[in-house]
């Protein structure tokens, strides 16, 4: 049976304001197109999701790479994971402050290390030793986020009851893809939550939480409030439902229902399996996504209901 490539990306699930819709649409569409070009040239799903996520890390619209949220010390700390469904190899980084594109470092770990996960200065040392140039943390900071942190501290952000509510910005980025060889992959990258404690790592870079890929089930990337997703190992949970026989769309919807019912969590999920079936679900007001397949290219700000 012929296999036709697919790439699906997300750029955050929350109450995306009207004046930010266009930038989100443009960002996810551009990222999907970058990954699609690789798939069209018979590239791997792994290379495609890496390239798509790099495009969003470079786009200041999203909470990934340059332009990410600042922690309470006013610094950018980034997390990322990439996983290959064919081999179950994965690479992840946490709390890096001097890597412009953490997904590139994660990919280097996957391909060039017997280990899976590096954090902080150890991750940065590994990246530098494997050809990734380090940058000053200041290069990752933009004025919009300096002002956002200042306002959050003024309002007592950590004490606000909706700190992790669906109206709070969760612009974590991710991608899932199927290549012409029948292999799937997933990648997720984030700057975490605004005003987070230094050293906090969320779900995005943890295998099975914010990202997972297995050819026997599905490739999954999530976005949203990380702590509940970590507790439920949500990406692996969703993938397992596909292995048990559910279609990715139904699995994604059930994952979000499970998240809400069990821990009152919120966010979004994208999925693809080796049969080319996709899943897109969320329980926030909006989610940014883009899709490229042989038949069509589409994008949207998914609106709840």
**Beta-bridge partner residues of 241:** none
DSSP 29-62: HHHHHHHHHHHHTT--HHHHHHHHHHHHHT-TTS
Q: Which of 172, 190, 193, 222 is catalytic?
A: 172
Q: Quick check: is 87 catalytic? A: no
Question: What's the N-to-C CA distance of the chain in angstroms?
Answer: 36
3-state class (DSSP) for residue 108:
helix
Burial class (CB in 10 A: 0-12, 13-18, 19+), 118: buried
Does residue 90 contact residue 116 with C-beta atoms inside 8 Å?
yes
How far is it, in rounded angstroms, from Cα 262 to Cα 257? Answer: 8
Distance of CA 248 to the CA centre of its chain: 18
| Token pair recorded at residue 181 | 């060889």
Q: Where are the alpha helices (DSSP H) in the chain?
A: 18-40, 45-57, 102-112, 120-129, 143-154, 226-232, 234-243, 248-263
Distance (Å) of CA 147 to CA 65, 137, 142, 194, 200: 18, 17, 9, 11, 21
How far is it, in rounded angstroms, from Cα 122 to Cα 171? Answer: 26
Does residue 172 contact residue 24 with C-beta atoms inside 8 Å?
no
> Would the CA dihedral through 214, 110, 290, 231 be positive or negative?
positive
Catalytic residues: 172
């Amino acid at each position: 049976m012929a296999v036709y490539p697919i790439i699906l990306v997300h750029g955050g699930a929350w109450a995306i304001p009207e004046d930010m819709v266009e930038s989100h649409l443009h960002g996810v569409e551009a990222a999907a197109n970058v990954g699609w070009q690789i798939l069209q040239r018979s590239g791997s799903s792994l290379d495609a999701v890496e390239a798509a996520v790099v495009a969003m890390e470079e786009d200041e619209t999203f909470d990934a790479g340059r332009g990410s949220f600042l922690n309470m010390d006013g610094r950018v700390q980034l997390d990322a994971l990439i996983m290959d469904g064919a081999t179950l190899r994965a690479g992840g980084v946490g709390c890096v402050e001097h890597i412009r594109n953490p997904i590139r470092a994660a990919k280097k770990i996957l391909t060039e290390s017997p280990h899976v996960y590096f954090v902080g200065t150890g991750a940065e040392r590994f990246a530098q030793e494997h050809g990734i140039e380090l940058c000053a943390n200041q290069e990752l900071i933009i004025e919009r986020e300096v002002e956002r942190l200042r306002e959050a501290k003024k309002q007592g952000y950590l004490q606000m009851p909706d700190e992790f509510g669906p109206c709070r910005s969760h612009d974590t980025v991710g991608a899932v893809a199927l290549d012409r060889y029948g292999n799937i992959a997933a990648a997720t990258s984030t700057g975490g939550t605004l005003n987070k404690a230094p050293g906090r790592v969320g779900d995005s870079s943890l295998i099975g939480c914010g990202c997972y890929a297995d050819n026997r089930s599905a490739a999954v990337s999530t976005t949203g409030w990380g702590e509940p997703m970590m507790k439920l190992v949500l990406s692996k949970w969703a993938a397992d439902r596909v292995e048990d026989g559910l279609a990715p769309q139904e699995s994604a919807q059930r994952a979000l229902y499970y998240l809400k019912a069990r821990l009152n969590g919120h966010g979004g999920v994208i999925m693809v399996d080796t049969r080319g079936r996709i899943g897109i679900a969320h329980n926030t007001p909006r989610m940014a996504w883009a899709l490229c397949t042989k038949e069509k290219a589409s994008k949207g700000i998914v609106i709840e209901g």
